[in-house]
Structure 1
Amino acid sequence: MASERDARRRAYLDKAAAEVDALEARGVIMGGNAFSTVLLAKGVLSEGEKSGEAPFSGADGTALKASLKALGYAPEEWEWLLTIDADGEPLAPELLAEAICALDPATLVCCDDAAASALRDAYADDLVLIDALEEAMLAPGAVARVRGMRVINLGGFSDALADPHEKQVMWARLKKIPPLGEPF
């Protein structure tokens, strides 16, 4: 019984690894825990990230991880995805949607307006079906339900870190997406 369960687990891991590898081969840049419930998306790189630092390894990543932990998410409960390729060009909407589907998050956080714009393109057919205009437009702070995910656009998280008032605005937005299951 245990070996059958182990074989199933191995098959799930192999499938996920193959999907991630195939997406990366097509130009998708992502990292973190591919099995997490939270996906952080960004479309604008910091100067450090443009110089070779890993995405979300700077102040924005530190602040987001601390915020998620304060909300009750497990410390390893996040994955990140760039909505741009290595040349800084936006991912094709179909490729972005495929990447998000492969990662299967319960909550998708757009950290900047460029990521939200890319999501609008990738999920245009779904967003037009949402009655609330703010949600359909992925307006900063609105929480939309798209293909079973909660989606929130923080609207410039990195830039907000320099302003105490804007940091509070970001914190208020993040509090709208507490963990869906048991608290950590």
Structure 2
Amino acid sequence: MRVRPHLGESTENYIRRLARANHLRPSALHAIACGPPNWVGKPRLERLAVLTSRPADHLNEALTDAVAPRRRITVTGQYQRLPRGTYLLYRAIQKDAEAGLSLRHLTERHGVSRHIVRAALTALLPPARQRPNRHRKTPVTASVRHLITPMIRQNVSSKDIWKTLMDDHGISISFSTLNAYVRNQRTGYRGPTPPTC
């Protein structure tokens, strides 16, 4: 069954919708989209195009993270310069689109036309400024630790944990990050301790 990607949707979310529409496990479809040798990682656009019967350039235009450098810099290496109000609106639209809102919902939520939403979703914006944090960043696995820990205790493999997160909980996490976390938990490694003053 063919599933149309939503403008501004993430690749992982699109793969989950496509898998469910075709009664497949998202992890299995994700593996096919990645291909050998590891069958995990970032799905390859050309493989996804074959699976969906859609041109790769259409997928690239719709999916926010189909190609890694997208939305980072322009051909000339410069970010788009926008007035502050426009920048904040575009950033909010992009954030909502990544959460899975459709084009119609984006226009309604932000009270703007489809033309403005499309402009926001294709804008090349600099990354949002982050406030400096003197403490270490929260690990990516922190929000899913309650799901991962019981599986580690049951000696489930990293790959099977990754599949369970994707298939049963709709959670996409980097396999290499997950694998490192599982390995560290099993060996008792806790990471470097911050220096004391």
TM-score range, shorter chain: under 0.3
Structure ranking higher in strand proportion: 1
Structure number with greater Rg is: 2
When the two structures are superposed, what TM-score results if normalisation uses the length of structure 2? 0.26
Larger RCO (CA under 8 A, 6+ residues apart): 1
**TM-score using structure 1 length:** 0.27
